Structure 1
Amino acid sequence: MPVVLIAEDDEDIALILSRLLKRSGYTVLHAPDGQRAFDLAIAHRPDLVLTDLGMPVMDGLELTRSIREHAELRDTPIVMLSGHLHPGDGAPVRAGVCVVLLKPCPNDKLREVVNDLVELGAHGHSGADSACPARWPVSV
């Protein structure tokens, strides 16, 4: 089963996301802050990271940049799910996020994006030959 790492400090949201993804056939790991998520990513090499923006210790942008700078993680697909971004904010895409979803995001849209990126698999995130969709935002 593909592994999705959820970086989310709100335990209720993390529980909802975990249940949704487990029902969709994914193995789910959860970290309540960006630093612990990064440590889990190093240890488990997830197929996809689903991160919130605002988290303690290391936020979602810092987590994304850390993953992109890590030789063995840099090609991991990353989805940012946030209620604190404004449409068109380019910071997530510049950091290396593949897709930004705005909260509240319909479950079917989240499943579609996760499924598409897991199917795409590890891929480059910079340069002309990048396979990254870098879509912002998918859902408003």
Structure 2
Amino acid sequence: MSEALMLPDTGELNRRIVIRRWTDAPNASFNVDQTFDVGISRWAKVEPVRGIASRMGVTTGEEPTHFFWVRFSFETPAEYFAQDRVIEYRARRYRILDAQNFQDADRFIRITTKDLGAIDAMTSGTPTP
């Protein structure tokens, strides 16, 4: 099976996600507060990761749980999806591990993520397992 068959169809980008910047800021109690910006919304295809966890051909200590596919845009190239950003989808938060302009074709970005858990609105959006 060729990689071209793995590209999503535009109609498969049917899940609404929010991409937010994650910032840790020290507070007066000598702890850290997690803050998130307003973020941007995008349509995406969501698929769970199956098989061995590997990124760029190297097995890693962090096991990815999901791929998110979004349309390529010059406003949000692969470099935009850095590790200081998270994706929120269906009341769960996912940390971005990496992102790539799939096949360098400027059509789709594949974002590799790890599920951090449910978003608890009572703790300012901090995920809980």
For the aligned pair, the TM-score class normalised by the smaller chain equals under 0.3
Which has more radius of gyration?
Answer: 2
More helix by share: 1
TM-score normalised per structure 2: 0.25
Structure having the higher strand fraction is 2
